[in-house]
Amino acid sequence: MQRKFILVGLILLLCLTAGLPARSAYAESAPVVVIDIKGEIDAGQTALVHKALEDAKAKNAQAILVEIDTFGGLVDSATAIRDMISDSSLETICYVKNRAWSAGALIALSNKKIAIAPGGSIGAAEPIPTTEKTVAALKAEFAATANKYGRNPRVAEAMVDKSLGFPGYAKPGEILALTDYQAVKVGYADLVAANRNEVLAHYGLAGAPLLEYSQGWTEKLAGWLSNATVRAGLVSLIFLAIFTEIKTAGLGAAAFIGLAAALLLFGSGWLTGLASWVEILLFVSGAVLIVFEVHAPGTGIFGLGGILCIFASFFLTLGGDVAALDWLAASLLVAVVIFLLILKKLPSSRLWARLVLKNAETTTDGFVSGQDYQPYLGRTGVARTLLRPAGVVDIDGVQLDVVSEGRFIVAGTVVKVVAVSGQRIVVRPVDDTK
């Protein structure tokens, strides 16, 4: 009888443990990666999310917790973050701490789970400028993202297009933004949570080790470099360096300044995880072709090809659209104006006076660039060495380096100087001058 009770007890224990969620040593030690997205959405936030997701994958994280408090920002940065989070195989949870408006709403919707703080809000994503094209594109992006995780796409569309409205929440002509309790009611939040611990506990992550990521100097640098004016300024600086190098036909300080500007321009893409080898290869190829053209002048084909490659790399880096053409034209114009001003003003500036040596060795002061051989024109001498065609000739006891007109002249031949050009003395056998 006792054995039967023991057997029944073991069976009951197995049933109970089978019904409990598995808590392996791996699961308990695996961290939760927390990403703090606060302030304007820009390339700096993109760089932050890229870095955090890469580390989460490398450390086998249990989940990603994205904490958002933003009024919005750049749509292209938001869509890049949306793609990163949406493509992640890990459990992704968004905690709207105060607000997730505009671009922030798209990032929130890209997470598998959403929690919202008391008094929080989500939505108000009408694009600026509000054109038919931008509204249609962003509305489709919102709807597709919401639908992917089983959320009502009509709600997402009303957040972007105010002409739609959503019954009971926003009239046609009003942009939709949901409060905390409204978000829960329409399925755009799973719960209202007062703090992070409540969010983690709700999703079974209480007590998990946390790895927190917030913006550092590298992410802030990436955000600064994403500014269109800054990028256009870097392009102008590169153009100016190219003009200077072509003018001076050398690799001087301008080349290093241009290289530093190019590293900043193209390097920001690596920080955000959006870098493309195409732009970099086009720029490097263009620079090599221009250097080759400068140092080995030809028909100009290499120089033209280099310029086209560099223009193409800048066009793609600046966005590859109509706006990129405008920025590219403005950058080139600024570089040309500055270059012309430098050519005009630099020779008379104090800087130029300090860089350039003022003393000159002129002929009026008795300085000569070399010996004057004009007096030897028409005189005769004897070849002391074989001229083939260069050699040595003795004229009245003075040995001179000369060249023949192309033929070999044996030593001992009497020759006559028939031409003098600078340091070049041309001789001809006396028999041939008759």
Backbone angles phi, psi at 169, to 5 degrees: -130, -35
pLDDT in tens, 324-353: 788 788 888 888 888 888 777 666 656 555
Q: Tell me what the pLDDT averaged over the chain comes to.
A: 81
In terms of pLDDT, which residue wins out, 233 or 194?
194
> Do residues 70 and 81 lie in contact, with contact meaning Cβ atoms separated by under 8 Å?
no
This prediction's pTM: 0.61
- Angstrom distance (rounded) from CA 315 to CA 329: 10
Do 399 and 415 form a contact (C-beta atoms < 8 A)? no
The single-letter DSSP state of residue 204 is T
Write down the pLDDT at residue 10: 39
Pairing of β 63-70 and β 113-116? unpaired
Query: For 154-183, how does the pLDDT look when each residue is reduced to its tens digit (9 = 90+)?
Result: 999 999 999 999 999 999 999 999 999 999
pLDDT in tens, 220-274: 776 677 777 777 888 888 888 877 776 665 556 777 887 788 777 776 666 665 5
Whole-number pLDDT of residue 295: 65
Q: 219 versus 32: which is more confidently predicted?
A: 32
Query: How confident is the model at residue 154, as a pLDDT?
Result: 96
Which among 52, 60, 56, 51 is positioned nearest to 24, based on CA atoms?
Answer: 60
Judged by average pLDDT, the poorest of 22-26, 170-174, 271-275, 299-303 is: 22-26
pLDDT above 80: residue 16 = no
